[in-house]
């Protein structure tokens, strides 16, 4: 297991290198940074001086090596808008995003798994049909629409919850629920189909033949097996979750990394955009590594050597 | 080997039962599968008894209803299609299994009657240690501490002939061979000392040398634990080796029933004769001949013909066979003296034809 972790960590290095290349090229795609940083009426001398100071007169690969070297120690330069280090801006907002993501994942598991299990156990009944209808809706409705509807209904009409901001538990509910809805739907659908498959297996019949209670068979014997593919899907959906964070945080003025990213993009604040992309990509890689390690714990047939 | 903790089992015996009462008495049991399109009469009125320490073999080809018989007794018919629609299955000291509540049936399963399945490769839960899976079977039915249950589970692994049971206790199913997994399944089935164990083709998925080991093991455990065995198989070699008595099943009904010696020495029903003739012979002298087969296929259990179910494949069928279904009864001409042997065939039961079966059999 230890050597497997080491090997997997080494394998993430090329991925991180790829991330660096893409983040670097992001700024170059929209043209010469000089045009962006200096006022349009700047003199040619000022432009040349700016290029020399920032190393922009060097070949592209030299520039990249300097960028990568700085990035590895977390230095993406100063934000054009705030003047502060881009990385520190991201890290300041990371706890808010982590809180939202954790609440979302908790909600998604809490509702998605039981819904999927119940739909499978009561296959073909009214319960199954209604769960499938709701999950279909959940996957079809985009979160920006759901968030706005949520604000209108729960914040404006009913006045139960605040429209946005962060601090109280009430302020967490709407954004987390909005973000979780798609995920609940997806987890419920995958859980349902995996449970239907597992409940047909011979070992479920063996458990029944032993006289094990039906509820224990469903929630323990069967779900332990069905959860393994569900975990794969969750790992893959973390990317979608991070994308959803950007939209949801903006709708609910949640002071997290996602909202920072949108603001930075609008302000063409490239150091901050680069830092956000780098941090999100690293989180995605890390989560998938954790998911792979969880497999080994959940499924003894997988051995990492 | 003595295994403690049979206290819970004793409660099942409370209604005093005579020693020679059958462990299981099945009477006219009918288990049908109801589908939208129709009804599959998988078990269509079968009767048999199993006495203490006896091995009853149910033999027949695929789809004749032999597995469904076992599942019906266990209360494990496939849901929601499967249902017991008639008859009784009385387990000694428990009552009619067909009429027990779901709750009571769960208490009985694994304790008074247990089952070993055909596929050892898929019958154990892949994510749990085998020791835990045996332990669970014990703890479901008996109030034991984890440590005591663990000790019993290790003793069971030892009993079924698994070497170094303490280490194997911690193994996961995928770390064991097919034969070892089937031994674990047997350990699970016997963990609570049931009166009756059902084994549905327990050796079919195993290779030949392992088959012999498992059969020997079943015989040994049966005499050590005093359990009765209902063995389901399509392999007449297994029948010859294991059975006290034999039921030959065809298309949902028993077509012949008798002691194993009689069935092999004087098979009455044309189907039984066909089965026995289909065993590849390996006589000395290198004599080579074509393997005998029974022509035709088993009729669909959803659309059974009137009359005898075997008539279409039977070389001796006549008009009555296609019109009227024969009952399972002793032959009219029981000159061979096997009164326990019953057959469902007009050749022996029709007064006009009585004895003909014997005639052509001896010819």
- Whether residue B281 has pLDDT greater than 80: no
Residues whose CB is less than 8 angstroms from the CB of residue A2 and which lie 6 or more positions away in sequence, other chains included: none
Q: Which stretch, B64-68, B169-173, B276-280, has highest mean pLDDT?
A: B169-173
Q: Is B202's Cβ below 8 Å from some Cβ in A?
A: no
User: Rounded CA gap, B283 and B330, in Å?
Assistant: 34
Domains in chain B and their CATH numbers?
7-12+22-243 (3.40.50.300), 262-280+291-362 (no CATH)
Residue B245: C-alpha distances to residues B49, B52, B96, B264 (Å):
10, 13, 22, 11
End-to-end CA distance of chain A: 6
- Please state at what angle helix B178-190 crosses helix A202-210, rounded to 10 degrees: 30
Rounded to the nearest 5 degrees, what angle is found at the Cα of A81, between the Cα atoms of A77 and A87? 35
Spacing of C-alpha B9 from chain mean position:
23
Task: Give B-chain residues touching A221 at CB under 8 angstroms.
Answer: 125, 128
Min Cα–Cα distance to chain A from B329, Å:
34
Residues whose CB is less than 8 angstroms from the CB of residue B228 and which lie 6 or more positions away in sequence, other chains included: B23, B24, B50, B51, B52, B53, B54, B55, B56, B195, B196, B197, B222
User: Rounded CA gap, B345 and B355, in Å?
Assistant: 11
User: What does pLDDT average to over chain B?
Assistant: 86
Q: Which stretch, A146-155, B179-188, B294-303, has highest mean pLDDT?
A: B179-188
Residue A158 has what DSSP assignment?
S
Q: What is the pTM of this model?
A: 0.83
Cross-strand partners of A241: none
Residues whose CB is less than 8 angstroms from the CB of residue B359 and which lie 6 or more positions away in sequence, other chains included: none
Task: Give B-chain residues touching A230 at CB under 8 angstroms.
Answer: none
Neighbour count for residue B71 (Cβ, 10 Å): 21
User: Rounded CA gap, A153 and A117, in Å?
Assistant: 30
Q: Which pLDDT score is estimated for B337? A: 52
E strand segments, chain B = 24-35, 38-50, 55-59, 82-91, 95-96, 113-116, 196-200, 228-233, 245-250, 253-259, 342-343
**Contact across the interface for B125 and A221, Cβ inside 8 Å:** yes
Higher model confidence: residue B84 or residue A159? B84
Min Cα–Cα distance to chain B from A210, Å:
4
Min Cα–Cα distance to chain A from B123, Å:
4
- Whether residue B363 has pLDDT greater than 50: no
Cross-strand partners of B95: B91
Q: Which pLDDT score is estimated for B285? A: 54
Does ipTM top 0.90? no
Instruction: Tell me if the bond preceding B80 is cis, omega within 30° of 0.
Output: yes
pLDDT digits (tens, 9 = 90+) for B21-33: 799 999 999 999 9
Rounded to the nearest 5 degrees, what angle is found at the Cα of B257, between the Cα atoms of B255 and B261? 130
**Contact across the interface for B114 and A221, Cβ inside 8 Å:** no
Residue B304 has what DSSP assignment?
P
Residues of chain B above pLDDT 90, percent? 56
Mean pLDDT of B98-110: 92
Long-range contacts of A115-119 (CB under 8 A, 24+ apart): A115/A184, A115/A188, A115/A191, A115/A192, A116/A187, A116/A188, A116/A189, A116/A190, A116/A191, A116/A192, A116/A194, A116/A195, A116/A230, A117/A191, A117/A192, A117/A195, A117/A218, A117/A219, A117/A223, A117/A226, A119/A188, A119/A192
3-state class of B24 per DSSP? strand
Closest CA relative to residue B245, chosen from B233, B232, B257: B257
Q: Are A80 and A268 in contact (CB under 8 A)?
A: yes
Instruction: Provide the token pair at B42.
Output: 């998988």
End-to-end CA distance of chain B: 52
Cross-strand partners of B343: B256, B329
Residue A202: C-alpha distances to residues A205, A210, B121 (Å):
5, 13, 9
Q: Is B185's Cβ below 8 Å from some Cβ in A?
A: yes
Residues whose CB is less than 8 angstroms from the CB of residue B266 and which lie 6 or more positions away in sequence, other chains included: B336, B338, B341, B361
Burial grade of A7 (CB within 10 A; 0-12, 13-18, 19 or more):
exposed
3-state class of B85 per DSSP? strand
Task: Give B-chain residues touching A227 at CB under 8 angstroms.
Answer: none
Q: Which pLDDT score is estimated for B142? A: 92
Q: Which pLDDT score is estimated for B63? A: 82
Digit-by-digit pLDDT tens for chain A (305 residues) are: 677 778 888 888 898 889 889 888 877 776 677 777 777 788 888 888 888 877 778 888 888 888 888 888 888 888 878 888 999 999 999 999 999 999 999 999 999 999 999 999 999 899 999 999 999 998 888 888 988 898 888 888 988 888 888 888 888 889 999 999 989 999 999 999 999 999 999 999 999 999 999 999 999 999 999 999 999 888 888 888 888 888 899 999 899 999 999 998 888 788 898 899 999 988 988 888 888 888 888 888 877 65
Mean pLDDT of B214-227: 91
- By DSSP bridging, strand B82-91 and strand B24-35 are antiparallel
Q: How confident is the model at residue B149 (pLDDT cuts 50, 70, 90)?
A: very high
CA closest to B115 among chain A residues: A209
CA closest to A203 among chain B residues: B123
- The residues on A that touch B, with CB distances below 8 Å, are 201-203, 205-214, 221, 224-225, 298-301
User: Rounded CA gap, A89 and A261, in Å?
Assistant: 10
Residue B36: C-alpha distances to residues A129, A207, B33, B39, B327 (Å):
19, 29, 10, 8, 30
Q: Are A218 and A117 in contact (CB under 8 A)?
A: yes
Q: How confident is the model at residue B269 (pLDDT cuts 50, 70, 90)?
A: very high
- For chain A, the domains span 2-72, 86-298
CATH architecture of the domain covering A86-298: Orthogonal Bundle (1.10)
User: Rounded CA gap, B281 and B264, in Å?
Assistant: 15
Spacing of C-alpha A232 from chain mean position:
14
Worst-scoring range by mean pLDDT, A169-183, B207-221, B257-271, B325-339? Answer: B325-339
Instruction: Provide the token pair at B174.
Output: 């995928």
């Amino acid at each position: 297991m230890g050597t497997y972790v080491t090997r997997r960590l080494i394998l993430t290095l090329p991925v991180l290198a790829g991330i660096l290349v893409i983040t670097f090229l992001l700024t170059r795609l929209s043209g010469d940074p000089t045009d962006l940083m200096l006022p349009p009426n700047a003199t040619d001398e000022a432009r040349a001086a700016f290029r020399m100071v920032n190393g922009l007169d060097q070949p592209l690969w030299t520039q990249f090596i300097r960028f990568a070297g700085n990035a590895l120690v977390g230095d993406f330069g100063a934000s054009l808008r705030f003047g502060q280090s881009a990385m520190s801006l991201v890290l300041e907002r990371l706890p808010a995003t982590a809180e939202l993501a954790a609440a979302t994942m908790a909600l998604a598991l809490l509702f998605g798994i039981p819904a999927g299990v119940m739909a499978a156990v009561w296959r073909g009944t009214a319960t199954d049909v209604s769960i499938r209808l709701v999950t279909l809706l959940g996957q079809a409705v985009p979160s920006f629409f759901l968030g706005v509807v949520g604000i209108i209904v729960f914040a404006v009409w009913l006045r139960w919850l605040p429209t946005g901001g962060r601090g109280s538990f009430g302020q967490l509910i709407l954004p987390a629920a909005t973000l979780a809805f798609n995920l609940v739907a997806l987890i419920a659908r995958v859980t349902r189909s995996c449970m239907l498959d597992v409940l047909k297996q011979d070992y479920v019949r063996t458990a029944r033949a032993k006289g094990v209670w039906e509820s224990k068979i469903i929630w323990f014997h069967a779900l332990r097996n069905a959860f393994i593919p569900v975990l794969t899907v969750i790992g893959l959906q973390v990317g979608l979750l991070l994308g959803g964070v950007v939209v949801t945080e903006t709708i609910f003025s949640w002071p997290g990394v996602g909202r920072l990213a949108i603001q930075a993009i609008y302000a063409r604040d490239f150091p901050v955009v680069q830092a956000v992309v780098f941090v999100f990509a690293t989180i995605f890689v890390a989560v998938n590594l954790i998911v792979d390690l969880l497999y080994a714990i959940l499924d003894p047939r997988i051995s990492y050597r | 080997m003595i295994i403690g903790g049979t206290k819970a089992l004793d409660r099942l015996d409370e209604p005093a039962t005579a020693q020679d009462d059958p462990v299981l008495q099945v009477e006219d049991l009918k288990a049908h599968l109801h589908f939208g399109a129709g009804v599959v009469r998988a078990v269509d009125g079968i009767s048999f008894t199993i006495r203490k320490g006896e091995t009853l073999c149910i033999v027949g080809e695929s789809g004749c209803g032999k597995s469904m018989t076992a599942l019906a007794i266990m209360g494990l018919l496939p849901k929601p299609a499967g249902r017991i629609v008639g008859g009784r299955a009385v387990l000694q000291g428990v009552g009619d299994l067909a009429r027990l509540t779901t709750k009571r049936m769960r208490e009985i399963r694994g304790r008074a009657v247990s089952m070993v399945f055909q596929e050892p490769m898929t019958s154990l839960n892949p994510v749990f240690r085998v020791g835990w899976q045996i332990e669970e079977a014990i703890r479901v039915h008996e109030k034991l501490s984890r440590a005591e249950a663990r000790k019993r589970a290790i003793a069971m692994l030892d009993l079924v002939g698994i070497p170094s049971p303490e280490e194997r206790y911690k193994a996961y199913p995928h770390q064991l061979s097919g034969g070892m997994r089937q031994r674990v399944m047997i350990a699970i089935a016997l963990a609570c000392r049931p009166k009756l164990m059902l084994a549905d083709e327990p050796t079919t998925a195993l290779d030949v040398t392992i088959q012999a080991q498992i059969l020997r093991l079943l015989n040994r455990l049966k005499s050590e634990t005093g359990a009765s065995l209902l063995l389901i198989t399509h392999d007449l070699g297994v029948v010859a080796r294991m059975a006290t008595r034999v039921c030959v099943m065809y298309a949902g009904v028993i077509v012949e029933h008798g002691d194993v010696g009689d069935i092999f020495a004087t098979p009455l029903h044309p189907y039984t004769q066909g089965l026995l003739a289909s065993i590849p012979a390996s006589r000395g002298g290198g004599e080579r001949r074509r393997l005998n087969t029974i022509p035709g296929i088993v009729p669909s259990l959803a659309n059974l013909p009137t009359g005898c179910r075997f008539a279409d494949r039977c070389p001796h069928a006549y008009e009555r066979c296609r019109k009227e279904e024969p009952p399972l009864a002793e032959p009219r001409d029981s000159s061979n003296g096997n009164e326990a042997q019953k057959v469902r065939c007009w050749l022996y039961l029709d007064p006009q034809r009585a004895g003909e079966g014997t005639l052509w059999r001896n010819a």
